[in-house]
Amino acid sequence: MFRLNLNIALRNLWRNRGITSINIGGLAIALAAFILIIMYVGFESSFDQSNPNYRNIYAVGRIYPDFKTIYTPPPLAKAIQLNLPEVELAGIIKQSSFEMVLKNGKHSIITKNFLQLDYSAARILDVRPVGGLEKPAGANDRLNYLGMADMKTLFPDKRDNKPEIVGAGSSTSGITAKINGAIINDRHSHITFDAISVANELGQGENYGYNNYSTYILVKPGTDINHLEQKISALYRAELSKGETDRKTIEEIKQVSTFLDPLAHLHLRPKAGNDTPYKILIALSGLGILMLVIACINFTNMSIAQASRRAKEVGVKKVMGAYRSQLTLQFLTEIFVQCFVATILALIIAELVLPAFNNLFAIKLTIWDLENQLVWQLPVVLCLITVIAGIYPALVLSGFKPAVVLKGNFSASKHSSWLRDSLLVIQFGIAIIFIIGLFTINSQLKYMRNQDLGFTASQVVYIKSNTIFTKPETFQPVRERILKIPGLRSATVATSIPDGSENGSNGYTYRGTQANIDFVDVDFDYFETLDIKLKEGRLFSPAFKTDTANAAVINESAVARFNIKNPVGQTLRGCDRDYKIVGVVKDFKSQGFENAIQPTIYAIRNPCGNPKIEILLKIEQSKMAAVLAILKEKWPEINPKDGEDFRYEFLDELYGRLFKKQEQLQSVFFATALLAIFIATSGLFAFAKYVTNGRIKEIAVRKILGATDLQILKMINRSFLVMVVLANLIAWPIAYILVSKWLETFVYRIDLPVAPFVFSALITTILSVLTVSFQAGKAVKASPVDALKYE
């Protein structure tokens, strides 16, 4: 029976190969898009799952009345380990701000992501050097490991895992470092590194004022996490209150709490961080599902539209004794064959598109992998789409009454027309949502690219340095050497650059009002180099000797945070120092458009600050190449500690990376919108062909009675236009809600424009008229005699 059903299925598919090609082609394209998206979603949502304690690991963060942060002080981990029995292990990690150049003879590498962690954190995060994780012997000892690829680059002939000595920094520095072995660093984890250093203990001598570590804990299975959060908060407050007698400070400490963030959330949706990647992943998942829905609707619609061609076949089979269940199985077999062929084509298309997809998202996905979840996902999807796209058409076709269809009356009935029209409306509605989403994303990205950032990133070069320039007198001779190069306008150094990275934060007080605000340690010419506008007062200047001691410049958000009237000349206290405000600069978007501008204080000397190593140079555009060539040549003289290791990046390119996730979404939306329109239009084309063929005799009669070609085209287009208008009316409110939710992820965003909704209506209307008119044109131009000669 199966073989007979299969033969009948293949014969029918070949007889209607035009419609079959549209069905299979549309479904294959949608499936290929779906395959790529589910592979990406699976990749992004499975970070850290290889960790055996995946479900019992949490990051500890701090909550203040005005902000939340994942950074914690180093003593907190030890206090948690000692006082809370629910916690098996507690450890800390710290990201290094330096890029270290390591050398072995002629071979050299640059460690751009150097991670320090204590032994407990290494165990919690399942860090595994080749040969196994060892505990450092002494209290102050460290074990240093390099990534596998870098280790091979430095020691291409190495065959063992014995320690090696490498040079660090410039070739003339004389500094060496011991590399204890190699480590696998291409793990599927939110913790990334190309070199790590494992210590018995980190942060020795640093108190609760040094909030630049990340704390991880491993809890016992079954632990009440909410209760544990409360206990850690109480412990943290108790630690902060030790020796504190000031009532106001004690009251402020009571407002501080902690939170626990599961390891499963840290990559996509951290509690103290940006959850845009998670929202984009949800959006991509929705796109993949909608693409599949459109294809299934197209498939179902075409199957129903062809029902009349199979009516007599069904009637004859039923008269000869065929049961409805047998006919349903036969039609499902036909649909399964089409879905199976579409799946094979989808795999081929996905494989062809995969390199471009990997390049877009900077990942390395592969379809042909035994560990790939597609092994079980694709058969499930194949069965689902067979049932979803085929069960109703199969029931409709198998349910025809022999007495009706054998009399030839079926073609005149309205059987299933309501569902057919509804599905076409839904199909176009989804395509309209894609079009509106695409236009809205384009508008927001255009706004982000053209909006005034408050600073100028173009023509600014960021030089990577290993030299610490905390004191202005240390950087002054370097600045003088740099500025001797023709074409260099200004040079400065700071603890951080406006590339979207988080600044440090600390508590500052103004007239009894205490708040945690960001701090950035800078040097002279920082604001001039970045063209940051001065609102009132002045900027730092060597003419004022007190500027290197206790002067500060704050931004507009800091003025608003403390509600300072006439800020110039007022005093802010922080880091056990009184800062005199000498100027106020206008707010600028250093952290992109998704995060609000933070209240920030800028100072030349800050005892709580990070080392100043980020060199920024303003260079004339016409002399950029020449200046960079000279800098590379003379860098050993300009900055001897870095020597020949001259490394730079353009600030505008660094800042542009903040748009990367949205640009990825834009690219995917563009592709899916085109595919949705293509599938919807191809379905409309096939459907228009069916409708037109069914009205050939009617068209012939109307032409004989004097109807013009234009009148007939209007008649045929009218019903389709009604469905397109209805699709727009249904899709608009849904699209409005979805794009509004997406825009809410940006602090600085456009007002939702009307243009995308208007364009969606125009595009779908024009496509509908062109598609239907092209198909109907053949019937309109045909001679009435050919259609009526047998009547």
Q: Above 90 in pLDDT, residue 321?
A: no
pLDDT of residue 412: 40
> Which of 592, 612, 641 is at the close of a domain?
641
What average pLDDT score do residues 702-710 get?
Answer: 74
Q: Is residue 328 a part of any domain in this protein?
A: yes
Region 243-270 average pLDDT: 86
The answer to whether position 235 is within a domain reads yes
Greater confidence, 401 or 552?
552
Share of the chain above pLDDT 70, in %: 88
Cα–Cα dist 393/409, whole Å: 19
What mean pLDDT is predicted for residues 9-19?
Answer: 68
Largest CA-CA distance found in the chain, in angstroms, rounded:
107
Question: What mean pLDDT is predicted for residues 615-621?
Answer: 93
Inside any domain, residue 220? yes
For 172: left if phi > 0, alpha if psi spans -120 to 50, otherwise beta; the answer is alpha
- For the ranges 278-287, 385-394, 417-426, 575-584, the maximum mean pLDDT occurs at 575-584
> What pLDDT score was predicted for residue 224?
94
Question: Rounded distance, CA 448 to CA 660, Å?
Answer: 12
One domain for residues 252 and 298: no
Q: Which of 206, 233, 265 finishes a domain?
A: 265
Least confident of 33-47, 118-132, 246-260, 589-603: 246-260
Report angle CA 649, 655, 656 to the nearest 5 degrees: 100
Render pLDDT for 623-654 as a digit per residue (tens, 0 to 9).
999 999 999 999 888 888 777 778 889 999 99
Q: Is the pLDDT assigned to residue 312 strictly greater than 80?
A: no
Summarised one tens digit per residue, pLDDT across range 429-475 is: 888 998 999 999 999 999 998 899 999 999 999 998 878 888 888 89
**Length of the chain measured in residues:** 791
Structural domain boundaries enclosing 524: 466-641
Q: Provide the angle, in degrees to the nearest 10, between the axes of the packed helices 374-398 and 17-44.
A: 140
Instruction: Map tokens 């952290």 to a residue.
Output: 591
Reduced to 3 states (helix: H, G, I; strand: E, B; else coil), residue 101 is strand
Tokens at 379, concatenated:
């058969």
Cα–Cα dist 446/167, whole Å: 47
503 and 625, same structural domain?
yes
Are residues 555 and 471 part of one domain?
A: yes
**Cβ–Cβ under 8 Å, residues 225 and 219:** yes
pLDDT at 407 over 60: no
Arithmetic mean of pLDDT, 665-677: 84
Is the domain of 438 the same as that of 520? no
Give the tokens for residue 685. Answer: 């084309």
Residues 110 and 14 in one domain: no
Residues 311 and 366 placed together within one structural domain of the fold: yes
pLDDT > 90: percent of the chain: 34
**What backbone torsions phi and psi does residue 107 show, to the nearest 5 degrees?**
-95, 140
Of 98-102, 212-216, 387-391, the range with the highest mean pLDDT is 212-216
323 plus 392 within the same structural domain: yes
Residue 512 has pLDDT above 60, yes or no: yes
Residue 96 vs residue 359, higher pLDDT: 359
Instruction: Determine the Cα–Cα distance for residues 270 and 267; give it in Å rounded to an integer.
Output: 7
In a domain, 52, yes or no: no
Query: What is the token pair recorded at 109?
Result: 């590498």
332 CB burial (10 A radius; 0-12, 13-18, 19+): buried
Q: 58-68, pLDDT tens digit by residue?
A: 999 999 887 78
- pLDDT score at 310: 61
The DSSP code for 548 is G
CA contacts within 13 A on the Cβ side of 725: 6
pLDDT band, residue 207 (cuts 50/70/90): confident
Tell me the three-class secondary structure of 149-197, residue by residue. HHHHHHCCCCCCCCCEEEEECCCCCCEEEEECEEECCCCCCCCCCCEEE
Task: Indicate whether 8 and 121 sit together in one domain.
Answer: no
Q: What is the pLDDT of residue 91?
A: 94
Kindly state whether residue 654 falls inside one of the protein's structural domains: no
Domain-located, residue 459: no
- 67 falls within a domain: no
Say whether both 237 and 342 belong to one domain.
no
The larger pLDDT score, comparing residue 10 to residue 49, is at 49
Instruction: Say which DSSP state 659 is in.
Output: G
> 510 and 410 in one domain?
no
Q: Around Cβ 718, how many Cβ atoms within 10 Å?
A: 10
If pLDDT is split at 50, 70 and 90, which confidence band does 398 have? low
pLDDT score at 405 = 53
Q: Are 756 and 436 in contact (CB under 8 A)?
A: yes
Q: How many domains does the chain have?
A: 3
Residue whose pair of structure tokens reads 């599905």 in the numeric block: 423
pLDDT-derived band at 601 (thresholds 50, 70, 90) equals: very high
Mean pLDDT of 131-141: 84
Whether residue 458 is contained in a domain is answered as no
Shared-domain flag, residues 9 and 139: no
- 515-533 residue pLDDT tens: 888 899 999 999 999 999 9
Among 209, 244, 265, residue at a domain's last position: 265
Which of 15-24, 351-360, 663-672 is modeled with the greatest confidence? 351-360
Q: What is the mean pLDDT of residues 561-573?
A: 92
pLDDT (tens digit per residue) in 676-697: 888 888 777 767 776 776 677 7
Q: What is the pLDDT of residue 761?
A: 92
pTM of the model: 0.81
**CA–CA–CA angle 79, 85, 91 (5° rounding):** 45
- Helix, strand, coil percent values for the chain (each to nearest 5): 50, 15, 30
pLDDT tier, 790 (very low <50, low <70, confident <90, very high otherwise): very low
Q: Is the pLDDT of residue 309 over 70?
A: no
- What pLDDT is recorded for position 711? 79
Please compute the mean of the pLDDT values over residues 234-243 and round it to a whole number: 88
Please report the pLDDT score of residue 602 as a whole number.
95
Tell me: do 186 and 229 sit in the same domain. yes
Q: Give the side-chain half-sphere CA count within 13 A for 164.
A: 22
- Residue 336 makes CB contacts below 8 A (sequence gap 6+) with 386, 390
What pLDDT score was predicted for residue 324? 64
The span from the CA of 138 to the CA of 506, in Å, is: 33
